Chains A and B, each alone.
Chain A
Amino acid sequence: MIDKKLTQHLADLSKINFTDEELEKITVQMGDIINLMDKVKEIDSNNPTYTIDAVNYSDLRADEVAESSPNEDILKNSKETKENSFVVPKVV
C-alpha cells in the first residue's frame, strides 16, 4: 500500500519538493493510480518481456568528429553562467 512515507521517498527520488498538505493529497491520488496499475501483476511471470530489435554492429555511427556547438549557444538558455560554465550551488 502506498502511504505518505512512500510518496515522500518517491518525491525524493524524483527531486520534487511537496508541502505536507500536497503530499497528503498526492498520496491519495497515487493510491488510486497504483490500484489501477496493480492489474499488471496478474500476468504470468513466465511470459517473455518486450525487447527492442537489435541493430547490426556494422550499422553503428562511424567514429568521425563533427564541430561542437558554440559556447554561447550551449549556455544561452541558462539562467546562471560563469566562466563558460553552468552554475550550481557548491556541491561538496
Chain B
Amino acid sequence: MKYIPVIGLEIHAEMLTKSKVFCSCANEFGGDRNDRVCPRCSGMPGTLPVVNHEAVTLAAKAGIALGCTVNNYSAFDRKNYFYPDLPKAYQITQFEFPICTNGLVHILNRDIRINRIHIEEDAGKLVHDDYEGISMADYNRCGVPLIEIVTEPDFRTVEEVQTFVEEIALRLKYAEVCDAKLEQGSLRVDVNISIMPYDSNEFGTRAEIKNLNSIKAIGRAIDYEIERQSELLDKGQKVVQETRRFNDNHGNTKALRSKEEAHDYRYFPEPDIPPVFISDEEIEDIKKSMPEMPQVRYKRYTEEYKLPEDDAKLIITDKAFSDFYDSAVSLYPQYKEISNIMLGEVNRNLNDTGKTIKDISFSPEDITKIIKMTDEGKISKNAAKTIVKIMFETGDSPEKIAEDNNLIMKDNSDELEAIAQRVLSENESTVNAYKNGNEKLFGFFMGQIMSAAGKGANPKLIKDILTKKLNNN
C-alpha cells in the first residue's frame, strides 16, 4: 500500500550569547572538561538561576524571524528527569508559557506552521570509557542557552523538510541568533514522523528520530523511516511510539533506550525564576534592531531588481555577501551587472582563495567603480574581470589597477576618425556595397579599423564613429 508521511520537526538551536543562560560562565566551545562551570551550572546545593537578558532577546528575534508572536508574558518550568549529564536532575525550560508562539514559514508553495519557540538550557556531555566501564560527565555545555522550535506536522516530503531546515538555518544566521551548523551541533533537528494510508485523514503513531547532523542525513533517515513504517503496516504490525537514533554509517534508525522508563517529566512552574514581562515597545525595539530577513531580500531582488531567481537565491545564501551586494547597488543601481560580477568574478576568487566576503579588502564601492568604468566604455568586460582578480591580490583601487595594467581603453577620437576615414577611402567599392544594403560589411570595416588602431582601442567609440561616417556620406 502507498502511504503519506506526516512529519513535524523539533529544532534545537544554540544561541550566540556571551554567557550561559542562567549563570555568567562563558558560552564557548572547547577547553578542558568542567572548566567553564560554576556552582550554578554544576547544580551545587543552594544556588539559583538568573536569566540572561540576551537569551530572551535572541529567542524573541528567532520568533520574529519565523513569523511568530512574541508573547508579553513568558514563564519557566522544570522538566524533571535523572541523567548524568543533567546536574540538577531537572532542565529549566518553558512549558506552559513559551516566549514565542504561532509562527508561519513559507517554503516551496507551502505554509509550515510553527507551534512554539521556547528557551531552555542545554545539558552537559558524557564521555564514555569502555575499558573501565565508566562515563565521565563534563558540564561545560550545561546552561548553554537553547531555543527549541517546534513545528506543526505540516511536512509531507523530504524536500520540504530539507528546504525548511535550510531556510530556518539561514534566518537564524541573519538574525544572529545562532550560527546554525548542523554538523557541529549548534543546530539539532529531531524529526517526528508517522505515515497514514492515502485515503486517510488520521495520523499514525509517530517515531522521533534523533542524531541527524546533516541535511543529507535528514533525507536518508526520513526515507528509511517511511520504508520501515510502511513495511510494518503492510505486515499488519503496529508502529511503536519511541525515540530512534539515526546511524549515518548504516543509513538506518534504531530504537533508543529512553532516558526515563516512565517518561513522566513532572513539569511544574520554576519557583526560582519569576516570569518575564516584555512590553510591546520592547518587542518593537528588538524588531527594529534586526536586519532585513533573507526571504524579504529575495523578494526584493526578484521583484524589484528583476534578478533571476537563481541569482537571488545565491546572493542571500550568505548575509555578508547580500549586505555587500546591497551596499553596492545602493551606490550604483545596476542590479544585474553588479549581481553578475559578484556571482561571477567575486565568487570565483572567493572560492579560489578560500576567503569569505568578510575577509576581502575592497569595498562595495570598488565594485561599483568597476561597473561604472565598463559602462562608460573606459574598460572592457574582460578587463573588469582582471581588475577583480588583482583587487583580491593587492587590495589596490580599481582605478590604480586599470592604469598600472594598461587596461584603460584609449579615448583618441581624432586619431580614430582619421583611421576610419582612411579605411573607408581605401575601400570605396565595399562602402558602396554596404550602402546598397549589404549591412554585414559593417563588421569588415570594424575589423579593419580595430587592427589599424591597435591594442587599447575602444570598440564602442570606433563603432560610433563608423556608424556616423557610413550614414553621413
Chain A contact residues, CB within 8 Å of chain B? 9, 12-13, 15, 51-58, 60-66, 68-69, 71, 74-75, 82-92
Task: Report which B residues bind A (CB closer than 8 A).
Answer: 17-19, 24-27, 32-39, 42, 50-56, 73, 75, 82-84, 126-130, 133-139, 257, 261-262, 264, 266, 269, 271, 274-279, 282
Specify which chain A residues have a CB less than 8 angstroms from the CB of B52 in the assembled complex: 60-61, 63
Complex Cα spacing A47 to B266, Å:
22
> Could you say which residues of chain B place their CB within 8 Å of the CB of A89?
133-135
**Chain A contacts for B33, CB-based, 8 A:** 71, 83-85
Contact B262 A13 (CB under 8 A): yes
Residues of A near B130 (CB, < 8 A) are: 90
- Of A55, A62, A90, which one neighbours B133 at CB under 8 angstroms? A90
Known contacts A63-B17, A85-B34: does B276 contact A57 (CB below 8 Å)? yes
Which chain A residues border B261 with CB–CB below 8 Å?
12
Cβ–Cβ < 8 Å partners of A57 in chain B: 53, 56, 276-279, 282
For residue B25, which residue of chain A has the nearest CB? A68
Give the chain A neighbours of B275 by CB distance below 8 A.
Answer: 51-55
Within the complex, which residue of B36, B136, B262 is in contact with A85, where a contact is CB–CB below 8 Å?
Answer: B136
CB atoms of A84 and B35 under 8 A apart: yes
Tell which of A13, A63, A74, A88 has the most Cβ of chain B within 10 Å: A63
| B262:A75 contact, CB within 8 angstroms | no
Pick 13 A–B contacts, CB within 8 A, sort by A: A12-B262, A52-B271, A54-B75, A55-B275, A55-B276, A63-B52, A64-B18, A64-B24, A66-B38, A71-B37, A82-B136, A87-B134, A91-B83
Task: Enumerate the 4 nearest inter-chain pairs by beta-carbon distance, A residue then B residue, closest first.
Answer: A63-B54, A85-B136, A66-B24, A60-B53
When distances are taken between beta carbons in the complex, the residues of chain A under 8 Å from B19 are: 63-66
**Cβ of B404 to closest chain A Cβ, rounded Å:** 48
Complex contacts, A15 vs chain B, CB 8 Å: 82
Task: Kindly state the separation between the CA atoms of A83 and B172 in the bound complex, as whole angstroms.
Answer: 36
| Contact, CB under 8 Å: B138 / A85 | yes
Q: How far is the CB of A51 from chain B (nearest CB, A)?
A: 7
Q: Can you name 9 extra interface pairs (CB under 8 A) apart from A63-B52, A65-B27?
A: A54-B274, A54-B276, A55-B274, A57-B276, A63-B17, A84-B138, A88-B126, A88-B135, A91-B128
Q: Could you tell me the distance in whole angstroms from the C-beta of A24 to the nearest C-beta in chain B?
A: 21
- Tell me whether A53 and B274 are in contact in the complex, defined as CB-CB below 8 angstroms, given that A58-B282, A87-B136, A91-B126 are known contacts: yes
B42, B128, B271, B279: most-surrounded residue (chain A CB, <10 A): B42
> B25 and A66: CB pair below 8 A?
yes
User: What's the Cα separation between A82 and B138 when bound, in Å?
Assistant: 11
Q: CB-CB < 8 A to A71: which residues of B?
A: 32-35, 37
Pick the most buried of A52, A55, A82, A92: most chain B CB atoms within 10 A of its CB. A52
